Structure 1
Amino acid sequence: MRFLVLVFITSVISISAKVPPAQPNFVLIMADNLGYGDIGPFGSKLHRTPNLDRMAREGRRLTSFYSASGVCTPSRAALMTGCYPRRVGLDWTPEDGHVLRPVSPNGLNPNETTIAEILNKAGYATACIGKWHLGDQPAFLPTRQGFDYFLGLPYSDDMTRATGQRIGERLRGNQWPWLPWMENEKVIEAPADRNQMTQRETTAALKFIAANKSRPFFLYLPHNMPGSSREPFSSRQFRGKSRNGAWGDVVEELDWAAGQILAALKKHKIDERTLVIWTSDNGAPRRNPPQGSNAPLGGWGYTTAEGGMRVPAIVRWKGFIPAGSTSDELTTLMDILPTFAKLAGISLSDVPRDGRNIWPVLSPRSAKSPHKHFFYYHTRYLEAVRDSRWKLYFPKKHPKIPKKSEKYALFDLKKDVSESKNMAWRYPEIVKRLSAAAVWARKELGDGDQKGTRIRELGWQPQPVPQKK
């Protein structure tokens, strides 16, 4: 036992002494609507995820990693800009609601500086392969937001005029184009073959890695699956093979895709200069019957419950992140931009951003979170706030409490991630302290009709046109 402890300490010291290479590669893989408990490293016994299991053994699990929203568009806006969605105007729009729709005049403002633009200007090759969902008009597409190459969908896979899709049924889907599969700014297939999306995305990602193995690159691989359709889509290779129906088939195909990426990095001998992050854009949504799992967290995607915004995350960088380690420090999707910039040696402008450099958290230093608080917004409304331990829902905001309730709900996230034991009555001083912390968010970012003092405009494209082949 003493020998094993000595070996572990020696290995950590060895890793700590290594200096990360200048301009490392970055690979960010993100599933769509995949839950916290859907993969093996986060407790799933239902889905086979050997590649993600191995990635966790070779890297670090982040068990308190958050998206900045429980839904797609705001979450992705936060990732691209390092800001709360409310700050960049993509928390909610009158025309679209909580996520952008096809043929929308809205999108990520081209004046925003994205993570791709920051890296591209520093000499990085950049690619977005998969789901974009930050505007389908030309000015908003990935190729106008810092990416050299784009292949995939401009929005969610259920946003199509195809019959049987729940979004289309509710929101005049017959006026939308057939689901457009795009390369750069051109539709190359409509309707897109959803069964082959994960395969196509993976093939394109492997080609991008091979083509850029000798230069720094940023590969953003936001898979379209599990997606938002009633039943997710997988290729024939995986269809019907899991123990959890179509949802399980998709999860296991995504695991295969991750394995292909890791194998390619090893094949090209660049895995020691490539930081890989695997995560999800938000929690699994409620379905009947249930498919995705957010266990042991409480609640579902599209909400501010832990199950809606706390997502699985694994980080791997051979030789620089301790293997088989776990961090429960508060970290977020917004932190990726400043972290990548720091590692790439890039100085950021003083434009207000909410993300922080979390490399000290990921590295062998295992530092504390740079965040004192995290704010949970649902569309335009601030519903909750947390610190390193406690989460406070404001009156009428908790999903499990009747809307007419005037009570606060306080949960100890170190002991109660299911959010089942309201402790507000017992700790009024914590309720008061967290309520005071929310004053900053309401002033800076706003809340409901209260406009924040430091928010920016979303992008606007008059007379939008559909993406058609």
Structure 2
Amino acid sequence: MKFTRKRSGKKRSCLSIWLILCLFPRTCVSNPSKPNFLLILADDLGIGDVGCYGNDTIRTPNIDGLAKEGVRLSQHIAAASVCTPSRAAFLTGRYPIRSGMASNTQYRVLFWNGCSGGLPPNETTFARILHQQGYSTALVGKWHMGVNCESSHDHCHHPLQHGFDYFYGMPFTLLNECQGTDDPELAKSLQDTYWLHSQIIFLAVLTLLIGKLTSLFQFLGRSRHGLYGDNVEEMDWVVGRLLDVIDKEGLKNTTFIYFASDHGGSVEAHRGNARLGGWNGIYKGGKGMGGWEGGIRVPGIVRWPGALPADIVINEPTSLMDIFPTVVHLAGGVVPQDRVIDGRTLLPLLRGTAGHSEHEFMFHYCGAVLHAVRWHQKDRGTTWKAHYVTPVFQAEDSGACFGRRMCPCFGDGVTHHDPPLLFDLSRDPSEANPLSADTEPLFDTIVNRIGRAVEEHCRTLTQVPQQLSPYNNVWKPWLQPCCGTFPFCWCDKENNKDEDIL
């Protein structure tokens, strides 16, 4: 299978916000029990931006339709509140601190293609395992995890080596007409080139470029929430186009679809008086806050007609990391036994054969600093949350760090709590009323149990190279992926080789 670029003779001058990350099956697989996969990960999308999660002013009929036909996860948690570590955890099923993708500096994401940090070669993505199971895979869109290079391209660990047969770069953009004409290339190219009638994994990342929002002409001014709302509605339209392709190809009942966001919406993002970030509903905080729910609680929707029930809600704690063992299991693979895998398969919950999540404790990091811990006390049906570190909001009651670009993880911008702030998320999901020994008789027991869990968790951690160190996060011209003549690295070839793209 190869990709071809549909070329339009018309001049393109408008940049769409959509960056599409794809994974595809490499060879045909004869086993009909193995599903196709469509995994859609939105960037910076707040849980409150979607209709099926309570929004009544932004129109998301296609995403809402997925929830109506599938399972909606109400306590779906990202492993980090910013892009790079969250995506690393999503693909590996492991907390980012285990792979060195959790930063101990103020820079928490990889900023450049040409930097030496990145997902380490010894990490295994679900794409690699599916590749071994006969699936073809492709990743198109926002990678945001570097290429793990030492000194030259000869020493680079490319995303392809993590199990992707095709990797269409960072960023891969769809250019759209400014004149308001529809762009037929999106669905047409997917239908003609990408979709096969055998096992497929397709990972799409629909990205909201905060601060640089643009939109197709027909979506401008359509929502009641400025460019951000316009972009969310456009994203929903893209989801609809993808679903249309699945239906037309007769793949609806054989395709496992997952929709989520990599973390919560940005509450600090503004342009003048216009807010450019998402809405996190009733949850406190947002992007960059590793502990507060607004930064880590995200939409989570799964649809697989005939194999999973429809129109149900699961209120148990689940994680983006759970996709790793879930997809691996469905593909007939085996989860690696030589490392700690923090994700837990979703299948018992999704199929209704289990009433409780396998997660007892979940650890919420801000960079490399543990900010909070969630304890799912199954016998009581209660979810406790202990905050050891919280950001200092500016202004105090704003729920954001407006004096900074993003809330910090450490230093003078945070407050340490001993004993920790304790909340009962089952009764107080907004984290508005911290408990104390005076208001909760079991306060000391709960705090001590969570403390022991932290100690047990820390004993499973090993020291690894820091991929987001200042040196690794500095742009190095000699490492810049380039298929043209540096620094003019825009690729415009009909049939690029893999080594040309990276």
The match for 1:303 is 289
Q: Is the contact made by 2:61 and 2:236 (CA closer than 8 Å) also made in structure 1?
A: yes
Matched, 1:222 2:205: yes
The match for 1:174 is none
Question: Which of residues 384, 390, 394 in structure 2 aligns to 1:390?
Answer: 384
The match for 1:439 is 455
Letter in 1 for 2:479: V
Distance 1:380 1:141, change over 3 A: same
> SS of the residue aligned with 2:38?
strand
The match for 1:8 is none
Q: Is the contact made by 1:279 and 1:312 (CA closer than 8 Å) also made in structure 2?
A: yes
Letter in 2 for 1:215: S
Unmatched segments (≥5 aa) in structure 2? 1-30, 377-382, 397-413, 482-488, 491-502
CA separation in 1, counterparts of 2:281 and 2:436?
24
Matched, 1:273 2:235: no
Matched, 1:355 2:343: yes
Q: Is the contact made by 2:187 and 2:241 (CA closer than 8 Å) also made in structure 1?
A: no
Percent same amino acid at aligned positions? 36
Deviation at 1:442, TM superposition (A): 2.2
Question: Which of residues 306, 326, 338 in structure 2 aligns to 1:339?
Answer: 326
Deviation at 1:231, TM superposition (A): 4.2
Distance 1:130 1:264, change over 3 A: same
Q: Is the contact made by 2:317 and 2:359 (CA closer than 8 Å) also made in structure 1?
A: yes
Letter in 2 for 1:47: I
Q: Deviations over 1:219-259 (max 9, x none)?
A: 01112x2133x142222221221111100111001111111
Higher helix share: 1
Question: Which of residues 318, 340, 363 in structure 1 aligns to 2:305?
Answer: 318
Unmatched segments (≥5 aa) in structure 1? 1-19, 155-180, 183-188, 446-451
Letter in 2 for 1:254: M
Matched, 1:294 2:280: yes
Alignment of 1:24-103 (within 5 A): 24-92=35-103, 97-102=107-112, 103=114
Distance 1:405 1:66, change over 3 A: closer
Greater CA deviation, 21-30 or 60-69? 21-30
Q: Deviations over 1:134-159 (max 9, x none)?
A: 105663443232112223425xxxxx
Distance 1:464 1:62, change over 3 A: farther
The match for 2:401 is none
Alignment of 1:196-275 (within 5 A): 202-203=186-187, 206-207=190-191, 211-223=194-206, 225-228=207-210, 230-275=211-256
User: What's the C-alpha RMSD, in Å, of the aligned pairs?
Assistant: 2.8
Question: Which of residues 168, 172, 182 in structure 2 aligns to 1:151?
Answer: 168
Letter in 2 for 1:146: G
CA separation in 2, counterparts of 1:379 and 1:424?
28
The match for 2:399 is none
Q: TM-score, normalised by structure 1?
A: 0.79
CA separation in 1, counterparts of 2:184 and 2:132?
28
CA separation in 2, counterparts of 1:125 and 1:254?
26
Distance 1:203 1:149, change over 3 A: farther
Matched, 1:417 2:434: no
CA separation in 2, counterparts of 1:74 and 1:329?
23
Distance 1:140 1:133, change over 3 A: farther
Q: Is the contact made by 1:68 and 1:78 (CA closer than 8 Å) also made in structure 2?
A: yes
Alignment of 1:148-187 (within 5 A): 148-154=165-171, 181=172
Question: Which of residues 403, 425, 434 in structure 1 aligns to 2:415?
Answer: 403
Deviation at 1:430, TM superposition (A): 1.0
Letter in 2 for 1:326: V
Q: TM-score, normalised by structure 2?
A: 0.74
Q: Is the contact made by 1:73 and 1:133 (CA closer than 8 Å) also made in structure 2?
A: yes
Distance 1:240 1:421, change over 3 A: same
CA separation in 1, counterparts of 2:327 and 2:185?
23
Deviation at 1:200, TM superposition (A): 9.2
